[in-house]
Amino acid sequence: MQFLIILCLQLIIQGHRLSGKITKVLGGVARNVADCMSKLKAKPFLISAVGLDVPGKSLYEHWESTRLSVQGILRLQDIETAVSCNVFDGKGGLVAAVACVDSIDKFLTPKWIEKFKSKIRSAPILMVDANLSSHSLEASCRMAAQFTTPVWFDPVSVARSRRIASVVHYVRFVSANEDELIAMANALSRRGRDRFSPVQRDLCSTVESLFEMLKPAISCLLDNGVKVIVVTVGQDGVFLCSKAKSVLLQKLDFKGNRLPSSSKQLREAVDAECSSGRFYGASRYGLYSDFYAVHFPALSASVVRLTGAGDCLVGGTIASLSAGLDVMQSVAVGIAAAKFAVEVETNVPAETCLDGIEYDASHVYSGMSVSQSRDGLGNGKNVSFGSFPIQPPQNKSNNPLLTQSQSENIADAPGSNQDESLIGRSAYQSRQVVRPIGKQMTGNLTRNLTDQQPISVMKQPNPSSLPNAGLIPSQDKGPELKLTYTKIVTSNLPPEEKPKDGEITETIQ
């Protein structure tokens, strides 16, 4: 745990005292992650150490207020609670930081961590940050390996990120920014010198060129046994990388335990907005050299401060994994949580800020793209990012107008049990969701195209005139899809996106 003193200055001039704003907030990487998780109804168990001083008291009392266990927090008079002094510019960017975290190294020992072996045994995932000493990191990861608990490693900073070298063979997940990624790759390099150079942002005019520069370092971590890498690249979004497509679609093993009921709302909400089934064809597009790479776009935000964003991305992702969502769904939630974090003064946004996070996650999720080799050979040259293909239908319709490449799955409601109609997308197509009320619909249809033909959704002013959904050929627009519903749920949509009763959606371009 850390207590942060924040100084916001418009300009720093050596030798001059400048006016600014000083704010005290609760911090610490693991604490921020755990706090974000708790705001999303997860139940993290925090193992840390604080003193009986003012910062330690503030941190401890806040954690007590969450009604989560404080059993793992060591409190001693001899501990000087970790404190960091961060200096920000007028745009919320970090200019400099001075951290005093020696107490974590000294008091958060393997012996203290050993007391909570049963918690590590039952946990679906263990998150460790590089503020831990090398001995404590190794002890924590060894216990996790003993109980097959996956480990998430957070590098904290460029200097501390090198601590991954002693535990990399235990680590399943890694989250890092560009500089931390490069530092970890250099720490793992067997040549004894820095092989990987910092990214030259002035040479990165596109997402593809940025990925090209990061690719060797990503490969290094994957070659050393890391299964999943989450790389944050600021306003350019996030890269999610793995050697196996199946890993990106996996969910955590809950070891026979029931999924926490407290996370049910998040799980169901995100599942409804972000269907993981649409990525069945990632193997066709996503094999980039020897690993898969998925790009997630960033969300626009009104930035107040940029610290806390990375921690909330990790917190949102781990909370979602712990709720039973897959890796890609979880990262989308993490990005949405990070967006809320940069819009507030504190490191972690209030719980009310995270209400409806699934809708922001759905914007991220629908904007994902997968790496493609431009020469079609998957040889790692001239990478580009393109849209995912959509999920093939599970059942084929008897509609004679449909071909194999233009199949659809129709539930002839009334009486349909489906709650949504998804207008899917193939490459370069967008996605719309229409929510009928209850069972009152004349047709509930999931439309899938495996080619790149444009589709449009036509409005039907008279619902009684078309009893069934059908595919209507068109010479100028490609195949058109005609659907009718009696009503559409609009309460959860932004005002500008709300259709009128009886309407479908606007044309998909």
DSSP labels for 102-152?
Answer: HHHHHHS-HHHHHTTHHHHHH-S-EEEETTS-HHHHHHHHHHHHHTT--EE
Would you state the pLDDT for residue 470? Answer: 34
Rounded CA-CA distance 326/172 in Å is 15
CB atoms within 10 A of CB 454: 16
Asked if residue 389 has a cis previous peptide bond (ω within 30° of 0), the answer is no
Tell me whether the omega of the peptide bond preceding residue 461 falls within 30 degrees of 0, making it cis.
no
Task: Classify strands 287-288 and 291-296 as parallel, antiparallel or unpaired.
Answer: antiparallel
How do strand 73-76 and strand 48-51 relate by DSSP bridges?
A: parallel
CB atoms within 10 A of CB 352: 7
pLDDT along the chain (509 residues), means of 10: 52 61 86 95 95 93 94 95 83 79 89 96 96 95 97 96 96 97 93 78 84 93 97 95 90 83 89 74 48 92 87 97 95 96 89 83 91 50 57 37 29 30 27 33 32 35 35 36 35 48 37
H or E segment and range at residue 241: strand 238-242
The whole-number pLDDT of residue 37 equals: 96
| The pLDDT value given to residue 245 | 84
Rg (alpha carbons) of the chain, rounded to whole number: 25
The two three-digit tokens of residue 118, written as one number: 């049963």
The Cα–Cα gap between 101 and 48 comes to 12
Output the pLDDT for position 345: 86
Distance CA 420, CA 411 (A): 11
State the Cα–Cα distance between residues 221 and 242, nearest whole angstrom: 10
Q: If you count them, how many residues does the chain have?
A: 509
For residue 280, the one-letter residue type is Y
Among residues 26, 15, 6, which one has the least CA distance to residue 94? 6
**How far apart are the C-alpha atoms of 202 and 383, rounded to whole Å?**
19
Q: How far apart are CA 232 and CA 297, in angstroms?
A: 10
Position 482, amino acid: K
pLDDT reported for residue 142: 97
pLDDT score at 97: 82
Task: Give 345's Cβ-side CA count (13 Å radius).
Answer: 9
- All structural domains of the chain: 1-108 (3.40.1190.30)
Q: How far is CA 255 from CA 142, 150, 259, in A?
A: 18, 12, 10
